[in-house]
């Protein structure tokens, strides 16, 4: 079956190449858009994702907050009050606030200033995200961190030792992170006290309280204890807060709708382009299929032959598309567009490829089923 299917494919090279190119274009567009969406959702939940979730297992925020990138101020005394609740091991105040960055050349840009206490730095940066410098260097006077990829966005050097101003106050980059970013602004990490100083943040306020759960207690249990004890706040599992933030921004900004419509369009257009090409190829080979039937081939055999061709087209097109997608991913990495394709996503792309190719072959199968064996002798 494979040998005969390959001969059919080889006989009409032009249409075979056209089908493979159609599959490659469709899968590449789908993979590209899904990759970009993955990158954007990573930024949306970046504030929580780049924090130390091993210590800040629960985040306590204002009770109306659904977006971790827009936190309201909380009373700083909550940090100590929450610590007394059953199941709470430790609490950490976090400051997340906007600020204006100014470079030596006079250029300015909005940033997100993140502060938490040393040496834990629950809000970040995580040690695995540090690209240059040492985390302890954030204790130095005026020390902040900056991200390697934000240099291109801000069009300025963010190397260690770079002198900057934050809200008109002198600062210096002492730590450089890599891919510790969020949606809507560059993340600059520092200590809690310096974040207050740079942002003129009230000394009796924090943006959120991170909670470490005491051994033997579940997160859900501690979350319920906090929500039932303190009015006006809401405790979130850190992962749930990240996911809710992604959902909120995706829906409110219509990013999901825009990218989703492009993916659906790529699937539909690929389905019909490939289907019609296979149909056209079947029309050109009508006598060949008729001959097969005349020498004893059943409709079932002919269907399997066409489906085998479709599967081979899908396999070849998928491999080429994945190679192109990987090349694209590596090409945009240096520009700061960082994402990966998970095994589950690769499997999803393969199933879409099968659907486009095998589903499109139904046009040809329907036509061939109606071919009479005697037609080959006319």
pLDDT tens column, 10-27: 666 777 888 888 889 889
Q: What pLDDT does 270 receive?
A: 79
Which residue bears the tokens 């990490």? 189
Q: Which two tokens stand for residue 357?
A: 């190719």
Report the share of the chain in percent with pLDDT over 70. Answer: 89
Q: What pLDDT does 335 receive?
A: 76
Sign, Cα dihedral of 118, 119, 123, 124: positive
d(C-alpha 316, C-alpha 271), whole Å: 16
Q: How many CA atoms lie within 13 A of 212 on its CB side?
A: 14
Nearest to 69, CA basis, from 251, 236, 198, 242 = 242
Q: Where are the domains of the chain?
A: 2-43+254-377, 64-231
Question: Using 50, 70 and 90 to split pLDDT, how confident is the model at 286?
Answer: low
- Percent helix, percent strand, percent coil in the chain, to nearest 5: 55, 20, 25
- What number is the average pLDDT over the span 237-261? 89
d(C-alpha 348, C-alpha 221), whole Å: 36
- Residue scoring higher pLDDT (9 or 141): 141
Per residue in 27-64, pLDDT (tens digit) is: 999 999 899 888 888 889 999 999 999 999 999 999 99
As a whole number, the mean pLDDT across the chain is 87
């Amino acid at each position: 079956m494979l040998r005969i299917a390959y001969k059919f494919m080889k006989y009409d090279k032009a249409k075979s190449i056209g089908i493979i190119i159609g599959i490659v274009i469709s899968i590449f567009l789908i993979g590209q858009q899904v990759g970009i969406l993955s990158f954007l959702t990573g930024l949306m939940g970046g504030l929580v994702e780049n924090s130390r979730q091993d210590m800040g297992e629960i985040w306590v925020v204002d009770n109306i907050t659904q977006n971790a990138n827009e936190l309201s101020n909380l009373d700083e005394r909550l940090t100590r009050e929450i610590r007394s609740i059953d199941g709470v091991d430790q609490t950490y105040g976090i400051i997340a606030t906007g600020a204006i960055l100014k470079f030596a050349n006079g250029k300015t840009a909005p940033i997100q200033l993140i502060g938490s206490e040393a040496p834990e730095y629950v809000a970040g940066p995580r040690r695995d995200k540090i690209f240059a410098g040492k985390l302890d260097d954030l204790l130095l006077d005026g020390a902040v961190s900056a991200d390697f990829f934000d240099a291109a966005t801000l069009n300025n050097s963010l190397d260690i030792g770079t002198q900057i101003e934050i809200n008109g106050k002198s600062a210096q980059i002492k730590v450089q992170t890599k891919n510790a970013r969020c949606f809507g602004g560059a993340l600059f990490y520092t200590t809690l006290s310096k974040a207050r100083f740079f942002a003129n943040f009230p000394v009796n306020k924090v943006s959120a309280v991170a909670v470490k759960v005491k051994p033997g207690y579940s997160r859900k249990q501690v979350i319920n204890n906090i929500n039932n004890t303190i009015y006006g706040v809401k405790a979130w599992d850190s992962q749930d807060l990240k996911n809710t933030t992604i959902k909120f921004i995706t829906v409110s900004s219509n990013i999901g709708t825009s990218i989703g419509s492009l993916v659906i369009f790529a699937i539909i257009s690929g389905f019909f382009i490939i289907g019609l090409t296979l149909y056209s190829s079947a029309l050109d080979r009508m006598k060949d299929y008729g001959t097969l039937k005349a020498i004893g081939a059943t409709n079932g055999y002919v269907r399997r032959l066409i489906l085998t061709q479709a599967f081979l087209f899908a396999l070849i097109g998928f491999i080429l598309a994945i190679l192109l997608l990987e090349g694209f991913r590596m090409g945009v990495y240096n520009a700061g567009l960082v994402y990966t394709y998970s095994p589950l996503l690769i499997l999803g792309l393969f199933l879409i490829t099968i659907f486009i190719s095998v589903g499109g072959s139904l046009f040809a199968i329907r036509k061939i089923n109606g071919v009479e064996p005697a037609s080959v002798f006319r």
